[in-house]
Amino acid sequence: MPPPSATSATNDDSTKPSSIATHEPGLDAASAKVKMPKFPGPPTFYDPYNERAYLKGRLAAAFRIFGKYGFDEGVAGHITLRDPVDPTTFWVNPFGVAFSLIKASDLILVSEEGEVIDGGPCRLLNSAAYMIHSAIHQARPDVNAAAHSHSIYGRSFCSLGRKLDTITQDSCAFHNDHVLYDSFNGIVLATEEGENIAKALGSKKAALLQNHGLLTCGQTIEEAVFWFVSMDKCCHAQLLADAAAAGRGGETVKIGDEEAAFTYKTVGTPLAGWFGAKPMFDLIHKETGGDYLE
């Protein structure tokens, strides 16, 4: 007898199991929708100060995750959080503090003008972080968090000057939802460069910054973090697949546009990004004993 997930009613016999498995061609949209449970969602708050305290803890956890995944490179890299009390400001990591040591009390609050107005004992601000993230937060009211770092596979792929191919189920999350910023003018220390990156990003969730690295954003911290981790892995997968295909004198098999767009509706939504990150945040809390909340 086939497993329950591979059974469905037929027109002539409602009790007869279908021979079409859920992962094979032929599964209709109505059948697919009932296979997926409803995702839980992020918590809601009525007091912006309580929300701020909670989100600062999540941002600190995000840096611990980046440290765990090796997304730190000296003092490079930054993740920002729009402040729920004053949405014109954002929280970011202090310049020069290791990702794996960051606590909620270390984070610094930055104004639209680039002034550090609150935060921990180290109040050094990475100018590149301000230039890039300030421009994105101002251009995108829907973006509450953005992440950028010099991950090894991300920056390797960004040297190719091309967008990701849709070759895996995971890469469907970025199908028609990422851009290539095909310019490199050194470290981003000018307002114009930050604005150009934000303009190139447009309404998308991610950007490949040529000769630089990955940039992701989202409605939540968890979403921005998950897209970054997933995109770096997609870069890794494509680097391996392209090399293997070229070695055999061929090329990778691409997922069709219709199939990719359908899959995107499950794996590429903001809620899917938030839920996808949940295990990482749970694990970092367990491994650190929650000391990042201090």
Helix (H) or strand (E) holding 147: strand 145-149
pLDDT score at 28: 54
pLDDT digits over 226-245, tens only?
999 999 999 999 999 999 99
pLDDT digits over 110-140, tens only?
999 999 999 999 999 999 889 999 999 999 9
Please check whether the domain covering 48-289 is classified as CATH 3.50.30.10: no
Would the pTM count as exceeding 0.75?
A: yes
> Do 106 and 120 contact (CB within 8 A), yes or no?
yes
Residue type for 68, please?
K
Query: Domain ranges in the chain?
Result: 48-289
> Do 53 and 105 contact (CB within 8 A), yes or no?
no
**What number of other Cβ atoms are within 10 A of residue 271's Cβ?**
15
pLDDT digits over 39-51, tens only?
788 999 999 999 9
